[in-house]
C-alpha cells in the first residue's frame, strides 16, 4: 500500500469513508478499514489552481516522454525483425509492399481498433511528433467517479466496479451503465457491463483465469458444446430446487384432510339463531379485515358495489361463492364468527346456494359469473374435490379469456386527476378482473404441486419425467410469474402495501433466477457452492438495496444468535404499522432454505446405494443388486440425461464424465450454505411464532413452517455426513423441531373440518420421536425457542 499522506504533505488526512464514520484512518491508499470492508477509499486533496496546472503539465510531459520512448522501442523492434527476416532468406517477402510487416504505430490497416461495446478498452497510438498542445484529443479525461473493490486475489489482482457518470457519451452510458476494472500489476483492463449477470460472468472469468491459469483453460465454455453435461449441470440443480419446493408444499397440503361432504347435514344453518344475511356480513367483514390483504383476490369497492346488499345478499352467487371459500380458511377471525364445528355445514350450504343461483346464469360471460366460478373452484380444491374443481376452473378460464381484451384495454389507460366516477368504476372492475385471474392461476398451480408431490403418483423409472419441463411448475428459480399485482387508485394504504410487497417478492425470485444462471462449473459440488454464493449476494442486495426501509427489518439477516427477548422486542417495534417486514423476510428465508435442502440427500446413503458402485452397475457385475429400485431410477435418469444432451461419445466416456461430476457429491456438503440455511430456519420459526401471536391478523402460512421443519429434520437425519461445526447445532435443531410440532398441533384447533388430521402429522410425530431420543438435549443458548 502507498502512504496517502506522502501525496498530500506531512499532515495525515483521513479518507472520506473514515471521516464520515468518525473512525481512525492509517493514511494508506487504500486504508486498512476500507480494504477490510471492500469500500472505495477516496482522499480529498486541497490543491491550489496553480498546483493543479503544474501537475497537469508535468503529467502531460511525462506521458509524451513515455510515448517517445515507446516509439523508439517499436522502431528498434521493426529494424530487428527485418534483419532477422533477411538472415533467414526471406528478403523478398519482407520487402514486398503487400506483405510488409505493418508498423505497430501506423494504423492504416485498422488492426488497432478503438473503443467497442463489451470489449477491452485500448488506447490509440500517438505519433511521436505530437506536441503537448495537441495532446488533449488523444487523452481521455477520467471522470471523478468512485470505484468499489468487489474482488481481490491477495495483493496480486483486484477488481473494481464503477458507474459511468460522464456526460460526453450519454447514449453509451445508458446501455453500458457500469465499468468493471481489473488490475494486476501494471495491467489494467476496463470492461463495460450491462447487467448483473454480465458483471458476474466477466468477474468469474477474469478472477478464474488469474487463479487457475496453470490448471484449467481460461474459458470452460469455449472448450465444450453448449448442450454437453457441463452446460446442463446448472439446469439439473435448479430443477432439483423445484422438485424440493413442490414436495414441501405437498406435505403442507397433507396435514389437513376433509370429511366426506355427502354426509354433512346443512340443517344446522336453518337452525342458527342468526339469519343468513347477518352471518354472511360477519364472514365478509372478517375476511376483509384479515385474509383479504394476504390474498388480494378481489377489489373490495367493486365487489361491495356490485354484489353486496344487506337485504338481498343471499341472492348474489358471487357473495355466496366467496363465503363458501371463507368457511375453508384457518383464521381466528372467521372462527369468532362461527364455531369451528359448524364451518363445514355452512361451507357446503354457501356452495350449493351459489351453484343454484348460477344454474340460470351459466351461459352469461360477465364479471359476476367469473367471480362465482373462481371461488367455487377454490372451495372445491380446498375440500379435495379436484375433478369438480378443475371443471369449474375450466369454465372460469373460458369466461376470463372472453373478458380479457375489454379489461386489459382499461388497465392500459393512464389515470389522470380529472377522471370521472364512471372511469374510476371501470378501472376498479378491471383491477377486480385481474386479481381474480391471478388468484385462480395460483390455486391451479397449488393443485398441480399437490399432485406432483403425492407419493401415490410419483413417476417410476419407466416413465421418468426427469427432464420434463412442464412438471413441477412451482420452482421459483425457473417459474417466472403469477401475473402483475394491479393497484387501484381507491385501494387502502394496506392494500397498496401488500400489492407492492408481492411485486417485490416476484423481483426477488427473478433476481435469484438470473444469479443462479450465471454460475458455471464442471463439478456439481462446486456448482452448488457457486449458485449458493451468487443467490446469497442477490438476496442481500434485494433486501438491503431494493426493498424500501419500511418493508424490511433492521435485524441481521443470516444470524440467529440474538436473544429471544431482544429479537421479539425489535419485531414489536418495527411491525407495529404492518406485518409486511416479517412477510418479506420469511419469503427470503424460504428461498434460501429450499435451495440448501435441494442438494442434500434425503437420508444417509447406504453401502448398496454408493455412487462408486456405478462402475459395477454399468458393467453388469454380479456383486450389485441391479433390481434395486434406487439404481433402476438412477440409471433411467442417466439415460434420459444422455439422450437430452445428445452425447456422442462411447459408453465408457459417458461413464467417466458422470463419475467426475456426480460421484463425489453424495457425501460432500457445503458447510457455509448449510449454516446460513440453519440460521434462516431458526429465524423462520421465530417469525412464525411472532405472526401467530398477533391479534390483528392471521398471516401464518403452514407451508413456510413445513419448509423449516423438513430442512431441520434432514440435517438431523444426516448427522453422519456433517462436520463438527454443524453438529454443534443439533441440540438447537431438536428444540426447534419440537416447537414446529407444537405449532402444527395448535393449528389443528382452527381447522374447520372438526380437527381431522392428515396422515402427514402422524409421520411428523414418528420422525420427531426417532430423532429426539433424549429429551434433555444440552442446549442452553439464549436464542432457543424456550429460552
- The pLDDT value given to residue 751: 65
**Count of Cβ atoms closer than 10 Å to residue 467 Cβ:** 16
In whole angstroms, give the CA distance from residue 587 to residue 511. Answer: 13
525 contacts: CB under 8 Å, gap ≥ 6: 664, 665, 668, 670
- DSSP-assigned states of every residue in 394-443: HHHHHHHHHHHHHHHHHHHSPP-TT--HHHHHHHHHHHHHHHHHHHHHHH
For residue 325, pLDDT over 80 is answered with: yes
Distances, alpha carbon 635 to alpha carbons 133, 463, 484, 601, in Å? 74, 13, 42, 17
Measured between alpha carbons, how far is 165 from 735 in angstroms, rounded to an integer? 53
Least confident of 137-146, 161-170, 364-373: 137-146
Q: What pLDDT band is residue 720 in, cutting at 50, 70 and 90?
A: confident
Band (470; pLDDT cuts 50, 70, 90): very low
**Per-residue pLDDT tens for 206-232?**
776 666 555 444 444 444 444 466 667
Radius of gyration of the chain (CA): 33
- Once rounded to an integer, what is the mean pLDDT over residues 533-544? 89
Whether 542 and 588 have beta carbons less than 8 Å apart is answered as yes
C-alpha to C-alpha distance for 182 and 178, rounded to whole angstroms: 13
Average pLDDT over residues 715-722: 87
- Residue with more model confidence, 618 or 315: 315
- Give the model's pLDDT for residue 441: 86
- Cα–Cα distance measured from residue 29 to residue 149, given in angstroms and rounded to the nearest whole number: 12
324 touches 379 (CB < 8 A): yes
What pLDDT shows up at residue 759? Answer: 66
Ranges 236-245, 248-257, 460-469, most confident: 236-245
Q: Pick 600 or 111 by higher pLDDT.
A: 600
pLDDT category at 336 given cuts 50, 70, 90 is: confident
Higher pLDDT, 570 or 473: 570
pLDDT tens string 3-12: 444 444 456 7
pLDDT in tens, 430-444: 999 999 998 888 888
Classify the C-alpha dihedral 137-139-144-146 as positive or negative: positive
Count Cβ atoms below 10 Å from residue 56 Cβ, excluding itself: 10
Q: Which one, of 525, 474, 508, 514, lies nearest residue 241 by Cα?
A: 474
d(CA 683, CA 571): 12
pLDDT of residue 117: 35
Q: How many helices (H) and strands (E) does the chain have?
A: 29, 6
Summarize pLDDT for 3-59 with one digit per residue, the tens.
Answer: 444 444 456 788 888 888 888 888 888 888 888 888 888 887 666 777 778 888 888
Determine what percent of the chain is predicted with pLDDT higher than 70: 69
| Edge-to-edge strand list for the sheet holding 157-163 | 147-153, 157-163, 178-184, 187-193
pLDDT band at 767 (very low <50, low <70, confident <90, very high): confident
Q: What is the mean pLDDT of the chain?
A: 75
- pLDDT higher at 460 or 618: 618
pLDDT of residue 139: 42
| Assigned C-alpha cell, 450 | 399437490
Exposure pattern of 136-150 as b/e (b: 16+ CB <10 Å)? eeeeeeeeeeebebe
Cis before 724 (ω within 30): no
Quickly count: other Cβ atoms within 10 Å of residue 42's Cβ: 16
Tell me what pLDDT residue 124 has: 35
Q: How far apart are CA 734 and CA 737, in angstroms?
A: 5
CA 196 to chain CA centroid, Å, is 14
Q: Give the residues across from 149 on adjacent strands.
A: 160
Q: Rounded distance, CA 518 to CA 237, Å?
A: 13
More confident residue, 33 or 448: 33
Give the C-alpha separation, 620 to 629, whole Å.
16
- For 129-150, write each residue's pLDDT tens digit: 444 444 444 444 444 556 777 7
Can you give the pLDDT at residue 703?
84
Per residue, the 3-state secondary structure of 257-286, as one string, reads CCCCHHHCCCHHHHCCCCCHHHHHHHHHHH
CA gap 30, 39 in Å, rounded: 9
The pLDDT-based confidence of 194 (bands split at 50, 70, 90) is confident
pLDDT digits (tens, 9 = 90+) for 53-94: 888 888 888 888 888 888 888 888 888 888 776 655 444 433
Q: What does the alpha-carbon distance between residue 102 and residue 74 come to, in Å, rounded to a whole number? A: 11
Cα distances from 702 to residues 346, 740, 743, 769, in angstroms, run 24, 10, 9, 21
Q: Which residues of 686-787 form beta strands (DSSP E)?
A: none
- 629-645 and 229-253 are packed helices; what angle lies between their axes, rounded to 10 degrees? 130
What local confidence, expressed as pLDDT, does residue 127 receive? 43
Give the pLDDT of residue 686. 95
pLDDT at residue 610 in the model: 67
Amino acid at each position: 500500500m502507498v502512504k496517502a499522506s506522502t501525496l498530500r504533505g506531512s499532515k495525515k488526512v483521513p479518507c472520506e469513508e473514515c471521516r464520515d464514520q468518525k473512525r481512525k484512518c492509517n493514511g494508506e491508499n487504500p486504508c486498512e478499514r476500507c480494504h477490510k470492508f471492500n469500500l472505495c477509499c477516496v482522499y480529498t486533496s486541497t490543491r491550489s489552481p496553480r498546483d493543479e496546472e503544474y501537475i497537469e503539465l508535468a503529467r502531460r510531459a511525462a506521458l509524451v516522454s513515455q510515448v517517445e520512448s515507446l516509439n523508439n522501442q517499436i522502431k528498434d523492434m521493426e529494424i530487428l525483425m527485418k534483419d532477422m527476416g533477411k538472415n533467414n532468406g526471406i528478403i523478398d517477402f519482407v520487402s514486398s509492399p503487400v506483405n510488409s510487416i505493418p508498423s505497430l504505430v501506423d494504423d492504416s490497416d485498422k488492426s488497432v481498433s478503438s473503443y467497442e461495446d463489451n470489449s477491452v478498452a485500448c488506447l490509440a497510438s500517438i505519433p511521436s511528433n505530437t506536441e503537448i498542445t495537441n495532446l488533449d484529443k488523444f487523452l481521455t479525461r477520467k471522470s471523478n467517479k468512485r470505484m468499489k473493490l468487489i474482488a481481490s486475489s491477495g495483493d496480486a489482482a483486484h477488481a473494481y466496479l464503477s458507474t459511468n457518470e460522464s456526460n460526453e457519451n450519454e447514449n453509451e452510458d445508458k446501455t453500458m451503465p457500469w465499468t468493471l476494472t481489473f488490475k494486476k500489476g501494471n495491467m489494467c483492463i476496463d470492461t463495460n457491463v450491462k447487467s448483473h449477470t454480465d458483471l458476474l460472468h466477466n468477474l468469474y472469468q477474469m478472477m478464474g483465469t488469474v487463479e487457475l491459469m496453470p490448471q484449467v483453460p481460461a474459458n470452460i465454455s469455449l472448450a465444450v458444446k453448449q448442450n454437453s453435461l457441463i452446460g446442463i449441470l446448472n439446469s439439473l440443480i435448479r430443477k432439483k430446487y423445484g422438485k424440493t419446493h413442490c414436495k414441501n408444499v405437498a406435505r403442507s397440503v397433507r396435514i389437513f384432510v376433509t370429511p366426506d361432504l355427502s354426509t354433512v347435514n346443512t340443517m344446522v344453518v336453518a337452525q342458527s339463531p342468526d339469519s343468513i344475511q347477518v352471518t354472511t356480513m360477519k364472514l365478509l367483514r372478517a375476511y376483509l379485515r384479515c385474509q383479504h390483504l394476504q390474498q388480494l383476490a378481489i377489489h373490495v369497492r367493486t365487489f361491495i358495489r356490485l354484489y353486496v346488499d344487506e337485504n338481498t345478499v343471499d341472492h348474489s352467487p358471487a357473495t355466496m361463492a366467496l363465503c363458501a371459500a371463507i368457511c375453508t380458511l384457518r383464521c381466528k377471525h372467521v372462527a369468532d364468527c362461527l364455531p369451528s364445528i359448524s364451518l363445514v355445514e355452512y361451507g357446503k350450504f354457501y356452495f350449493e346456494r351459489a351453484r343454484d343461483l348460477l344454474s340460470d346464469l351459466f351461459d352469461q360471460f360477465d364479471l359476476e359469473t367469473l367471480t362465482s366460478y373462481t371461488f367455487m373452484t377454490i372451495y372445491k380444491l380446498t375440500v379435495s374435490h379436484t375433478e369438480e374443481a378443475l371443471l369449474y376452473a375450466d369454465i372460469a378460464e373460458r369466461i376470463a379469456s372472453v373478458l380479457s381484451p375489454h379489461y386489459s384495454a382499461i388497465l392500459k389507460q393512464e389515470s389522470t386527476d380529472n377522471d370521472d366516477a364512471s372511469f374510476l368504476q371501470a378501472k376498479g372492475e378491471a383491477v377486480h378482473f385481474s386479481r381474480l385471474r391471478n388468484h385462480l392461476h395460483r390455486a391451479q398451480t397449488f393443485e398441480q404441486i399437490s399432485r406432483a408431490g403425492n407419493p401415490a403418483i410419483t413417476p417410476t423409472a419407466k416413465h421418468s419425467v426427469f427432464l420434463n419441463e412442464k412438471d413441477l411448475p412451482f420452482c421459483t428459480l425457473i417459474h417466472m410469474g403469477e401475473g402483475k399485482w394491479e393497484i387501484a387508485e381507491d385501494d387502502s394504504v394496506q392494500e397498496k402495501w401488500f400489492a407492492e410487497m408481492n411485486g417485490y417478492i416476484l423481483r426477488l425470485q427473478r433476481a435469484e433466477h438470473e444469479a443462479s444462471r450465471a454460475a458455471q462449473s464442471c463439478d456439481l459440488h462446486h456448482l452448488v457452492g457457486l449458485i449458493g454464493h451468487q443467490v446469497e449476494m442477490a438476496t442481500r442486495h434485494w433486501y438491503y438495496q431494493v426493498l424500501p426501509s419500511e418493508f424490511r427489518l433492521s435485524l441481521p439477516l443470516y444470524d440467529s444468535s440474538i436473544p429471544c427477548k431482544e429479537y421479539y422486542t425489535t419485531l414489536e417495534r418495527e411491525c407495529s404499522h404492518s406485518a409486511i417486514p416479517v412477510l418479506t423476510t420469511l419469503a427470503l428465508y424460504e428461498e434460501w432454505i429450499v435451495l440448501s435442502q435441494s442438494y442434500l440427500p434425503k437420508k444417509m446413503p447406504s453401502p448398496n446405494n454408493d455412487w462408486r458402485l456405478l462402475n459395477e452397475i454399468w458393467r453388469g457385475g454380479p456383486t450389485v443388486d441391479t433390481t434395486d429400485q434406487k439404481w433402476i431410477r438412477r440409471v433411467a435418469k442417466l439415460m434420459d440425461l444422455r439422450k437430452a444432451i445428445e452425447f456422442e461419445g462411447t459408453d465408457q466416456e459417458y461413464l467417466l464424465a458422470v463419475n467426475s461430476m456426480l460421484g463425489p457429491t453424495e457425501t460432500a456438503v457445503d458447510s457455509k450454505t448449510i449454516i446460513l440455511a440453519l440460521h434462516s430456519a431458526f429465524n423462520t420459526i421465530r417469525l412464525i411464532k411472532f405472526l401467530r401471536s398477533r391479534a390483528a391478523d392471521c398471516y401464518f402460512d403452514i407451508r413456510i413452517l413445513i419448509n423449516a421443519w423438513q430442512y431441520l429434520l434432514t440435517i438431523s437425519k444426516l448427522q453422519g455426513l456433517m462436520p463438527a461445526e454443524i453438529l454443534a447445532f443439533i441440540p438447537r435443531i431438536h428444540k426447534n423441531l419440537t416447537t414446529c410440532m407444537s405449532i402444527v398441533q395448535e393449528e389443528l384447533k382452527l381447522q374447520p373440518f372438526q380437527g381431522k388430521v392428515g396422515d402427514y402429522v402422524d409421520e411428523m410425530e414418528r420422525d420427531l420421536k426417532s430423532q429426539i431420543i433424549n429429551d434433555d438435549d444440552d442446549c442452553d443458548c439464549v436464542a432457543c425457542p424456550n429460552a
